[in-house]
Structure formats: structure tokens, C-alpha cells
Structure 1
Amino acid sequence: MTPSSKDTALQTTGSSNRPAVLVTGGAGYIGSHAVLALNDAGWQVAVIDDLSTGFRFAVPEGVAFYEGDIADRQLLARIFAEQEIGALMHFAGSIVVPESVERPLDYYHNNTVKSRALIEAAVDAGVPHILFSSTAATYGVPESSPVAEDAPRAPINPYGWSKLMTEQMLADASAAHDFNYCALRYFNVAGADPQARSGQSTAGATHLIKVAVEAVLGKRDTVSVFGTDYDTPDGTGVRDYIHVSDLAAAHVLALEALISQPERSLTMNCGYGRGFSVREVLDAVDRVTGTPIERRMAPRRAGDPASLVADPSRIRRHLSWAPRYDDLDTIIRHALEWERKLAEIRADSSDPA
């Protein structure tokens, strides 16, 4: 395929050029939605997940599944060979910011050391394309908002540092070996598959919208608001909430971009470019559900910046990414529908609550 100009949108890759894709953490929240997006579009997909935070039911029937650790070199070599893997989407890792402050070495091990092992295995197997699940936490406290990809990276928590280190490993390894990569820096991911095939399922999750819909359904008594004295319009933290299915669609487009232009690597923000405060989100949950949530004011959490809002112009320009669910009420409705579906799944299965 003839590469297009760097300043023009990239075209959809033809099915004959589609490699098999290994998705790490594909039984988890974001990874499972990427698997759905790939599977729906006709890609050959395989999943590796140790099920420490993922769920076997999140992987669709017909998708090859391997239970194991992403640092298990023997297992990876077998998967790469058996599935003839030509691209890697890497989601596996630990993601809770306050926990990373309390347990930094765990985060550097899970997110950085294991990613190094995975990258090395991919290089040894000759995998030519790697997509990495990065984070807006790499920016720390941005000097301006919205934040663009060339803003200074200065993480304020071990989670952000662990992801930034992996970005650097990819950049250095790509320069020395024959592969290109895309690092997608997520802002606040929320919602669930519109068909209720997957969603945020981890018990004790800290995502605000997940916590809020659990409270609506009586699974929590209150929702804590961590910090009311930030330098924001209403004193609570402001975040850019992106629907998980829009994020999954961005991964498929990014993979097509890597295949279309194998000489180029990409780093892109994934957000909508608009922020909502904690109070605004909870007000929206009250409005959508008709069930007022009891709120408990609490001190700030360690490692939380006041505001994180994306400048998404680069991803829109290079991938022709057009979000379908850029609406806070829609995100909340889909999260609520999944929470109800999840209760049914757990009632009928042996998966832990």
C-alpha cells in the first residue's frame, strides 16, 4: 500500500492486509472493548489475560484466549507462533492512581518491567506493529488546558511515570528494531458497550461514573468527592470523559494507520476536548437516573491534578476519528445499562463479585 501524506487522513486498511492481533489485558475493561471493535470489524484476534482484574466472560466466543502473564516469554512465543501475530495491542497493567502512590514498586513491576518483557518478546517474534495503552497522567499538572501531545511530560504519581517509561522504551526500541508503534494517551474512560456486551466489571473500581451508577443501584451508600478546593469553577476536579467504545474505535483506526505507514510511529491523546467537574458528573447521573446520590465530601487524593482536558486535534486529523458517543448523558446511560447486566451475569455465574 502506498503511504499517504503525513498531513492527510489515513484510509481504511483492506482486509487482505489485516494481521492477526494479540490483545493483552483483553478480558479487562478497555481491552475487552478493543476486542469487540476488532472482532466486529472482522480482524483475527487473540487475547492474553491473567484474569487478576479481567473476566473470562468479557472475551467473545470464537476469540482465542490464553490465561497467563504478559511476562511469560515461553507463553508469548507460543501465542505469536500459533496465532501468526502481526500486531500487538497492549492494555494489561495496573491503573489506580492513589494505589500507585501507596504501592509504587508494584506499579513499576506490572506496568514497566512486564511491558519491557512483552516488547522484547514481540521484537524477537518480528511483530511489526505495537499499540500501547498510555495515559494523560504522563502530563502531570499541565501548564495549560486543553493539553496537547507536545506538552511537557511531568507525572506526579508512579502510575504516570510507569506509563511514560514504557512510552520511552517503545520509542527507543522502535528506533533500534523493525517495528512502529502508537501510544494512545487516554483521558477519563467511561461508559460501556452500547449493546451491553462488556463494561467496567472490577469490584471496588474507582472510576467516578462506575462508582456513581453503583450508588444508584444501591451497591454503595454514598459517592465520595475527593477535593472541593481545587482551582476549578466549582472546586472539584475536572476531567475529560471519553466513551470506551469511541476509544476502542480509535485503536482500530490507529492500527490501520500503523499498517498503512510502517515508517511512522504516533503518539496521540484520546479525549473529547471538553471537561466536566465531579459535581457536574454527579448532577448528570442524578438527572439521567432520577435517583439523587448522596455525596460525601472528602480530602484530596494523592496524585490527582485539578484538571485534565485533552486537545484531540491530532487524532482527529490523522485518523479521521469521529466519536459516536460524545455525550455525558449517553455515557452514563450505557454505564447504568451495563451495571444492571453485570448483576445478571454475576447472579448466573461463579465469577467473583
Structure 2
Amino acid sequence: MYGCSLYLFFLLIGMEYLDARRKPYNVGKVIFGLVLIALCVFVLKQSPGFGDNSVFSRREPGVTHVLVTGGAGYIGSHAALRLLKDNYRVTIVDNLSRGNMGAVKVLQELFPQPGRLQFIFADLGDQKSVNKIFAENAFDAVMHFAAVAYVGESTMEPLRYYHNITSNTLLVLEAMAFHGVKTLIYSSTCATYGEPEKMPITEATPQFPINPYGKAKKMAEDIILDFSKRTDMAVMILRYFNVIGSDPEGRLGEAPRPELREHGRISGACFDAALGVISGLKVKGTDYPTADGTCIRDYIDVTDLVDAHVKAFNKAEPGKVGIYNVGTGRGRSVKEFVDACKKATGIDIKIEYLNRRPGDYAEVYSDPTKINKELNWTAQYTDLKESLSIAWRWQKSHPHGYGANQI
């Protein structure tokens, strides 16, 4: 609209100018018109979203602008919520292949004030888009969550995982370097360790990933670490264990797409079985060398995980790299988890036992000593039934995820 009006205005003034060449007494009109043009351009530049004048494109004293990649996803949306509550300026970039626009809309409704939150639909695999985003926004830091993240799916589509995780991280890192963004909080995984000989897992445990998901994440870590040796970038790498739970106030939850349910988290499968979306829960693997034959995992509540990100961000130092396991330090078997889920939902979920899932491992749990000591972080939501009860409340009130805003 502005462009069309301005075009017509220039056309009229041009006609006046040509007429003025024939009529000298019209020079005053031309001068007046030029003044109006200057005024019009000034007003346009002050309007929201014009050129580089967007609040997101400039730095302001006391305001920290964080790019949250994958911020429409389960973990990313919870992280964006925490950052917004803590008065950070947030830009979410997501291609919505795994994330939910509904989560973004919830955040937009909670924080409608100008300059608080913006959403950019983009694919981090598109180098031009990534560079454009960094060129047009003044980021102080990046929290990089965006990634496909299912172990089973990674064994079936390995190339997709290497491209989405490793290549996309490289593009983000290159854009950060070129545009002078100096802080990176990287979302990694305990899958980079593979199946260690000793438990619990410390940050010094050798990394021998056994599936494409873990391998792709380790490659991304290696790229970041190699680059960090030649730069003053502040880097924090957080290796997650198994994430569960949801926002305690019921604003956000986990809503995977229906076609991805078979690859999703066990909590989602438990809730689907409790809601009757699926006939029962399929437990894959009962012959592992564990006490009850099922896998043992370290289940970390998403609220605690997000808190670890904020503490890592606050402790990030230029020229230094911090690597931390984010877990409770306690392993729980799948059977224990299912029992807790039955209690949280109040439903006697039907269980079907199947063969092992490709690329899985028997036992994984963390030693959180380092993150406890260096970041003063300790998991608070350690009651499995409580975390599942909170998540179940959201699931019951959102049986179809974010509904019309799911995509």
C-alpha cells in the first residue's frame, strides 16, 4: 500500500516538475512537493517493519536478543517461554516440519508487546535464508534446538539426519561467525555416548554413538569444538537425557504429528494409549541385560532442562566451551516408567511387548556432578509420577494437540 501511494505521489510531482519547466511560477509547487516526499519517506522509515528499523534489527541497552531455532517444537517452545518470562527478546525460527504453530500462537498471546517475540518461517538448510535472517536481526545469542530427533527414524533415514543436524548446524555456525554473534547454546544428546561400558555417564565418558542420530549430533559437536579453537565465541553444549513433562501452568505441551507417533517419546505413546488414540503401548525390548529386561533411561523434566539452558547462558564466557550432561543422575526402567504413567493417568494401559528397536541401547543415565558444581543446577522435578501427571493434564485438555494450529 505504501509503495503504491508513494509511486503515485512521485508521478504527480514529476508531472508538476515538467509543467514547472514550462511555467516558472510553479517552482514553488515543486519545492513543496519535494518537502512532502522527504516527509513521506521519514514517516515510512518510522513505521513498524520498515527496512532495518524493526526493533529486532537493532541492539538496545539492557535488552538481550536470543534466536531460538526450532522454537515451535516441544523443547524449543518451552525454552522460548522461559526466556520471554525472563524478559529476553526472542526470535523463533522454525520450518514447522516437527514444530507446531499452535505453540507459537500461545507465546504470541502471552507476550503481545512489540519487540518481545517474532516468528520467522524458514528452513535452516537454506543458506540464503539463514544469512538473510542473521543480516536482518541483531542477535546476541543463539539457542540451537532445531533438529529431527528420533533414534528409530534415524536408522531408516540416515542421510536426512546428517543433513538436518550436522549440515544445518554448520550453516548456523557460519552465519554466527560472519555476523558476529558470539554466544551459542547447543542442544546435544546423550546418544553421542552410545552404549558406555560404565555407568553413570560423565562428560569424560568416551563418545561412540551407535545410531545416525547420535553420530550426527557428535559431528555437529566436533564442528563447533574445532571452530571454537579459533574464535572468542562463548559455547555451551548440553547433552540431554530423556525429556518428559510440560509447562506446570498448562500453557504448552508435547504434540508430535500423528505420523511420527511410532518414533516418538514413550510418554507420548503412554498418553496416546490412555486417551484411546492407540489400542495399547508397545514396549520394544524385554531382553536387555537389566533388572527387569527393559531399557533404563534418565528422565529429565523439560522445565528443569530449560532451566539448565538459562543457567548455561548466564555462565557462558567468551573463548570458552562448557560441556554438560543434563539429567537427574538416576536411571528408571521402561517398566517403571509405564507403571508411573498408569498411576498418573489413572488408566490401566494395555501393554504389548515387542522385539528391540534398531539402534537402541540397554542402559543410560547421567552423572550430573559437573553441572551441579559449575552451573549451580540441580533437577527439581524428579518425581516421575508428578512430571507425568503435569504432562497428562495438558494432554487431556488438548487431545488433538494444538488443534487447528497444530501445523
Does TM, scored on the shorter chain, surpass 0.5? Answer: yes
Give 1:87-236 correspondences, 5 Å limit. 87-203=141-257, 204-205=260-261, 206-236=264-294
Give the TM-score normalised by the residue count of structure 2.
Answer: 0.79
2:364 to 288, 302, 308: 308
| 1:338 maps onto 2:394 in alignment | yes
- Structure 2 contact 255–402 (Cα < 8 Å) conserved: no
Query: In terms of Rg, which structure is larger?
Result: 2
SS at match of 1:343: coil
Instruction: Tell me the CA shift for residue 313 of structure 1.
Output: 0.8
| Larger RCO of the pair (alpha carbons < 8 Å, separation 6+) | 1
Q: Which residue of the partner structure matches residue 348 of structure 2? A: 292
Deviations 1:206-227 (A, max 9, x none): 2011110121111111111111
Greater share of helix: 2
SS at match of 1:130: strand
* Cα distance in 1 between the residues matched to 2:387 and 2:278: 20
Structure 1: gaps spanning 5 or more residues: 1-14
* Cα distance in 2 between the residues matched to 1:97 and 1:17: 41
Structure 2: gaps spanning 5 or more residues: 1-59
- Structure 1 contact 185–268 (Cα < 8 Å) conserved: yes
Deviations 1:94-131 (A, max 9, x none): 11101111111111011111111111111111110011
Q: Which residue of the partner structure matches residue 57 of structure 1? A: 102
| 1:72 maps onto 2:126 in alignment | yes
Runs of 4+ in 1 over 6 A off after TM superposition: none
* Cα distance in 1 between the residues matched to 2:295 and 2:92: 35
| 1:27 maps onto 2:72 in alignment | yes
| 1:251 maps onto 2:306 in alignment | no
- Structure 1 contact 196–341 (Cα < 8 Å) conserved: no
Instruction: Tell me the CA shift for residue 343 of structure 1.
Output: 2.4
- Structure 2 contact 255–401 (Cα < 8 Å) conserved: no
SS at match of 1:85: coil
| Greater shift in the superposed pair: 203-212 or 105-114 | 203-212
AA aligned to 2:68 is V
Instruction: Tell me the CA shift for residue 16 of structure 1.
Output: 5.9
| Greater shift in the superposed pair: 82-91 or 304-313 | 82-91
- Structure 2 contact 102–402 (Cα < 8 Å) conserved: no
Q: Which residue of the partner structure matches residue 82 of structure 1? A: 136
- Structure 2 contact 344–392 (Cα < 8 Å) conserved: no
- Structure 2 contact 103–402 (Cα < 8 Å) conserved: no
Instruction: Tell me the CA shift for residue 323 of structure 1.
Output: 2.6
AA aligned to 1:64 is Q
Instruction: Tell me the CA shift for residue 174 of structure 1.
Output: 1.1
AA aligned to 1:145 is M
* Cα distance in 2 between the residues matched to 1:254 and 1:25: 18
* Cα distance in 2 between the residues matched to 1:249 and 1:315: 12
